[in-house]
Chains A and B, each alone.
Chain A
Amino acid sequence: MEDSEPETIVLKNWPEKFSDMLSMIGVNSTPNKTGEGDVEKGDYYSRCFSQTTRMITNKGSLKVSGTNIDSVQIIQKG
């Protein structure tokens, strides 16, 4: 039998986690549902640079407000 309290874990996806990181440095952002951000459609690289990774996974995006940056997308390799 467990003699200590079970750990409580809040499940968050990457855009939610990244949004928390941005709010800690004073940047306002709103996570999009995965696959619903405009930036998640189409190619994520222009291929202007050599050796760009081909196999990637979209992990979602977030809308940023009050800065020159409009949105952020999280990408995983493979």
Chain B
Amino acid sequence: MMQDPNPLPWGAQDRFQAHFIVQQYPDEELSPGKESESWRLRRVARTKLKTTGHFGSKKVVAVTWEGGKLAEDLNTDSSLNEMIAGQSVNDATIFVDPTDNGIRIYGKWKNSHDFGITKELFDIYDNIAGYIKKIN
């Protein structure tokens, strides 16, 4: 039997993500309104990668952060950014996403075979979490 050339895109897919969460919440005295928005904007960050090569041979050569105050702080830590540059392009793509139920650090989606955590990647996330905890 031939495979459907246009499979329907619904249903659970073999793509997983682990969110590493720092349990920090918008200050209730400050919300709602602009104060809560600035709480979020100070903590949002994502990596911007400088790479060489293409496809399978693509490698990360440098990492910078873009976003709010947290991104500024992370940009000053060259040893952390060197650690991130040592990861694959997928693992070096890191998002810091401040939600209402915690600040979430996560990377790209992975299939169930590749899904997991290495010591180096956990140390990177743990370092980022340390910076999140220092922000006022």
Binding site for B on A (CB under 8 A): 14, 18, 21-22, 25-27, 38-39, 41-46, 48-49, 53, 55, 57, 59, 67-78
Smallest CB–CB gap between A14 and chain B, Å?
8
Interface SS majority for chain B? mixed
Q: When each residue 1-26 of chain B gets 1 if its CB lies under 8 Å from chain A and 0 otherwise, what string results?
A: 00000000011110111111111000
Q: Which of chain A's residues have a CB closer than 8 A to the CB of B116?
A: 21
Question: B101 contacts A39, CB within 8 Å?
Answer: yes
* Interface assignment of B65: CB less than 8 Å from any CB of chain A: no
Binding site for A on B (CB under 8 A): 10-13, 15-23, 40, 44, 46, 95, 97-102, 104-105, 109, 116-119, 122, 125-127, 129-130, 132-133
Closest to B117 in A: A21
A-B contacts, 29 of them at CB < 8 A, read A25-B119, A25-B122, A38-B23, A38-B101, A39-B19, A39-B23, A43-B100, A43-B101, A45-B99, A46-B99, A48-B44, A53-B109, A59-B16, A67-B126, A68-B126, A68-B130, A69-B126, A70-B102, A72-B19, A74-B17, A74-B18, A75-B17, A75-B18, A76-B17, A77-B13, A77-B16, A78-B10, A78-B13, A78-B15
Question: A44 contacts B16, CB within 8 Å?
Answer: no
Smallest CB–CB gap between A13 and chain B, Å?
13
Closest to B11 in A: A78
Question: B13 contacts A76, CB within 8 Å?
Answer: yes
A42 to B17, CA, bound (A): 17
Question: B15 contacts A77, CB within 8 Å?
Answer: yes
Give the 4 A-B CB pairs with smallest separation, nearest first.
A68-B129, A77-B15, A78-B13, A25-B119
Known contacts A25-B119, A72-B18, then 8 further A-B pairs from the complex at CB < 8 Å, ordered by chain A residue: A21-B116, A25-B117, A25-B122, A39-B102, A45-B97, A45-B104, A48-B40, A78-B15
